[in-house]
Chains A and B, each alone.
Chain A
Amino acid sequence: MTNGNYVRVVAALVSGVIFGFGLSLSGMLDPARVRGFLDIARDWNPSLAFVLGGAVAVAAIGVVVARRMRKPLFDERFHRPTAPVIDRRLITGSAIFGIGWGMVGLCPGPALASLSLGLPATFLFVAAMLAGMTVHDRLEVARSWLQKSPRDAGRAA
Chain B
Amino acid sequence: MTHYWSALAGGMLIGLSAAMLMLATGRVAGISGIAGRLLQGVQPLTGGAFVVGLAFGPVLFRFLSGQWPEVTLTASWPILVIGGLLVGFGSRMGSGCTSGHGVVGLARLSKRSMVAVATFMSTAILTVYVMGFFA
Question: Main SS of the interface on chain A?
Answer: helix
Chain A, interface size category, equals 35 or more
Check B79–A16 contact: CB distance below 8 A: no
Check B57–A21 contact: CB distance below 8 A: yes
Check B11–A103 contact: CB distance below 8 A: no
Q: How distant is the Cα of A111 from the Cα of B15 in the complex, in angstroms?
A: 18
The residues of B that contact A52 with a CB separation of less than 8 Å are 11, 102-103, 106
Nearest chain B CB to A126's CB is how many angstroms away?
A: 7
Number of interface residues of B (CB under 8 A): 105
Residue positions of B touching A, CB distance < 8 A: 3-4, 6-29, 31-32, 35-36, 39-40, 45-47, 49-61, 68-75, 77, 79-99, 101-108, 110-112, 115-117, 119-129, 131-132
Check B124–A99 contact: CB distance below 8 A: yes
Check B3–A12 contact: CB distance below 8 A: no
Partner of B94, one of A93, A106, A116: A93
The residues of B that contact A73 with a CB separation of less than 8 Å are 23-24
The residues of B that contact A129 with a CB separation of less than 8 Å are 35, 84-85, 87-88
Check B84–A104 contact: CB distance below 8 A: yes
Check A103–B127 contact: CB distance below 8 A: yes
Nearest chain B CB to A137's CB is how many angstroms away?
A: 6
Check A26–B40 contact: CB distance below 8 A: no
Check B12–A54 contact: CB distance below 8 A: yes
Q: How distant is the Cα of A89 from the Cα of B90 in the complex, in angstroms?
A: 9
Nearest chain B CB to A121's CB is how many angstroms away?
A: 5
Nearest chain B CB to A33's CB is how many angstroms away?
A: 8
Task: Please encode chain A, from 56 to 96, with 1 for each CB lying within 8 Å of some chain B CB and 0 for all others.
Answer: 11111111011001011111011111010110011111111
Check B83–A42 contact: CB distance below 8 A: no
Check B10–A25 contact: CB distance below 8 A: yes
Q: How distant is the Cα of A39 from the Cα of B128 in the complex, in angstroms?
A: 6
Nearest chain B CB to A43's CB is how many angstroms away?
A: 10
